Chains A and B, each alone.
Chain A
């Protein structure tokens, strides 16, 4: 859709609407913004994201004209605006506190900016009505700000800042005061309005979810510098630093040392790794069918009701490399008929996400190249096919999102498999996050969609489990 095509930052022909050029801002000794350059394009929904004190609000206030620039220049639509007072800038701001004038009605609040331009009355009226319609506030036009709810006030603030049709709208933590549900609704409303009006939005927020939802691009800031400026998906999937990876969403950071990995696809590289796992792994899981069966029985004892789907999963995937049919244990779910299993196939396919990835090839082909990461004494190295071989010998951190980590009671056929123990389970309704302690003491979070009812959940506290992830799931970050 339009959203995917919209990428003016990739087009060298495009002129940015806003250009920060080597901007520095100091408050006395303190440097709030440090030699920062940034381009923001027309019609963008640009998010400045960072913890408090990172300089994001200072950036916004410099755009609005409330803070002077110590060094450097800010260009807006081809005009250097650093000496333009706030009331002369084609920029409007939606304040964090909304800053609605308490002595004026909603109508007058929205008309406030238009009246300053001494436009004729009919035009003001028309524009205010239009804004009221856009923000669905027509009913409340005559009320005073203290007579409406927080969500409505937020919309008044938005209507007021949009009324003058600014080239650029600044939003300072606009949704901070709303409760979660209203905030989510409002985020979509904001996007909708941004699209309808075609205004460039710059939003300041410390809420990464909010930034991810609304923004076309996100600038992650830290201590007055831009750490990464990219689209939400790139920021999330390919953070350029440990800082970004850690700030955006939940993440597992596994520090280690890079070492080269044989490049040939047929090379025994994938083989030794799982083998090493098995050798190094404690004797909980042996290679002999006997031991596995024993382990299985032990596990079964804890299973209240292994259902048809689990059985199907086993047959389809795990049976190939684990101890064959005897482990399929058809006696376990006596009531489940074959038809039921077949009927649920489609559903199971969608729900059981860990399975499909390694399933297709009879022998999982692990992507060649990349590096191996030695992350703990006596543990097999982690395969990172997307790692830069040039990192050889350097300390690196593997950043991997919890939703890309699977958790199984049986050793799965995945490129990276690590044994561990479930320490904690955070049940969030739609998903569960398992905190798994690896043999080295490293904690890893794994997320599973709760496709089953809670009562059927078969992994529980203190279980010995295997976590697994693909060779490309993580991002190798240099320290």
Chain B
């Protein structure tokens, strides 16, 4: 009984915070747009009893999903979002891994300070930080001014309003989410493992590839998920730092909801996005599970 209660708590929250909203979104995605409040039909009318319920279900259809396939804007936005999220996850990993490695190898008394410094940016508003990047990256921004003054370039670099700016923004914003899990994996690692690898004939680089990297794998996977999943639906960064050419599904979603007030199509976009994210994750988890079971 106690065990049941313990398990029930997370499931309860999962139900309230994930499943119920998802069912609502799914329901809206199957409805039709209407000039009403809320802006879709049918509405569920429980007072009409059984008949009302049947009438409600008979009016739901997959029209909006079919609509998404007719306009190539949507799939282009999906592909572009996937690409941007993937590239920025890799970039975050490239930047974050050395940071985490350095932190894990730092003297013990330094580690809390370094950890603090990684988390420190969270203490200011996310929006302010993105705006300050606009100040840095714009044509008259700090970066261009410094580069011009140094004579590295003679015309300002166009970074602002390009995909590059979006990458910079995403890498910057999500870096702590990459650093922390990798740091925790590396910190747990017994340093004598590296010595053992070297003792058995590995160069320092080989020891890293054969021991450190595989042992930080779990941290890397967790970090990549933590960056990739929010990055793919990112809205603020592409709309503030990206240009008109930056196509991301978060932006499309926003347009559908607030500019077009087409909640059903927007919901359909959201449902597809969810499937894109969840299906690979489930497959991955199952794969891991199998590997674990095969081990014993």
Contacts and interface: CB of A to CB of B under 8 A. Distances in A.
A97 interface: yes
Contact of B192 (A65, A99, A102): A99
Given A97-B190, A99-B193, A147 B201 contact: no
A87 B190 contact: no
Contacts of B200: 87, 92, 112-113, 116, 160-161, 164
Nearest to A85: B198
Nearest to A102: B215
A308 interface: no
Contact of B201 (A66, A95, A117): A117
Interface in B201-241: 201-203, 206, 210-211, 214-215, 217
Interface residues of A, number: 27
A385 interface: no
Contacts of A112: 197, 200, 210
B20 interface: no
B266 to A, nearest CB: 44
Interface string A60-100: 00001110000000000000000001110001110111011
B195 interface: yes
B255 interface: no
A462 to B, nearest CB: 53
B296 interface: yes
B66 interface: no
A95 B198 CA distance: 12
Given A99-B192, A99-B195, A116 B201 contact: yes
Interface residues of B, number: 20
A159 B173 CA distance: 48
Contacts of B19: none
Interface in A236-250: none
A46 B37 CA distance: 88
A101 interface: yes
B75 to A, nearest CB: 39
Nearest to B192: A99
A97 B196 CA distance: 10
Instruction: Name the residue among A85, A113, A147 with the largest chain B CB count within 10 angstroms.
Output: A113
Contacts of B198: 65-66, 85-87
A309 to B, nearest CB: 56
A65 to B, nearest CB: 8
A87 B199 contact: yes
Contact of B199 (A93, A100, A103, A147): A93
A144 B296 contact: yes
A144 B294 CA distance: 11
A316 interface: no
A176 B214 CA distance: 28
A143 interface: yes
Contact of A87 (B192, B193, B203, B211): B203
B295 interface: yes
A128 to B, nearest CB: 13
Given A95-B195, A99-B190, A87 B202 contact: yes
Nearest to B206: A116
Contacts of A64: 195, 199
Interface in B249-294: none
B193, B200, B217: which has the most chain A beta carbons within 10 Å?
A: B200
Interface in B71-110: none
A164 B202 CA distance: 13
A304 B3 CA distance: 61
B192 A95 contact: yes
A58 to B, nearest CB: 14
B196 A116 contact: no
A449 to B, nearest CB: 43
A103 B192 CA distance: 15
A101 B215 CA distance: 9
Contact of A116 (B192, B202, B296): B202
A147 B296 contact: yes
Contacts of A113: 200-201
Contacts of B195: 64, 66, 86, 93, 95, 99
Contacts of A86: 195, 198-199
B206 to A, nearest CB: 7
Contacts of B296: 143-144, 147
B199 to A, nearest CB: 5
Contacts of B210: 112
A101 B203 contact: no
A100 B192 CA distance: 9
Contacts of A91: 199
Contacts of B196: 93, 95, 99-101
A92 B197 contact: no
Nearest to B191: A99
A91 B201 CA distance: 10
B214 A103 contact: yes
A91 B198 CA distance: 11
B91 to A, nearest CB: 26
Interface in B99-127: none
B212 to A, nearest CB: 11
Interface string B156-195: 0000000000000000000000000000000000101101
Contacts of A97: 190, 192
Closest 7 CB pairs of A and B: A113-B200, A116-B201, A99-B196, A99-B192, A86-B198, A103-B214, A87-B201
Interface of A: 64-66, 85-87, 91-93, 95-97, 99-103, 112-113, 116-117, 143-144, 147, 160-161, 164
Interface of B: 190, 192-193, 195-203, 206, 210-211, 214-215, 217, 295-296
22 contacts: A64-B199, A65-B199, A66-B195, A66-B198, A86-B195, A87-B198, A87-B200, A87-B201, A92-B200, A95-B192, A95-B195, A95-B196, A96-B192, A97-B190, A97-B192, A99-B190, A99-B192, A101-B196, A113-B200, A116-B202, A144-B296, A147-B296
Given A64-B199, A87-B202, A113-B200, 14 more contacts: A66-B195, A87-B198, A99-B192, A100-B196, A101-B197, A101-B211, A101-B215, A143-B296, A144-B295, A144-B296, A147-B295, A160-B200, A161-B200, A164-B201
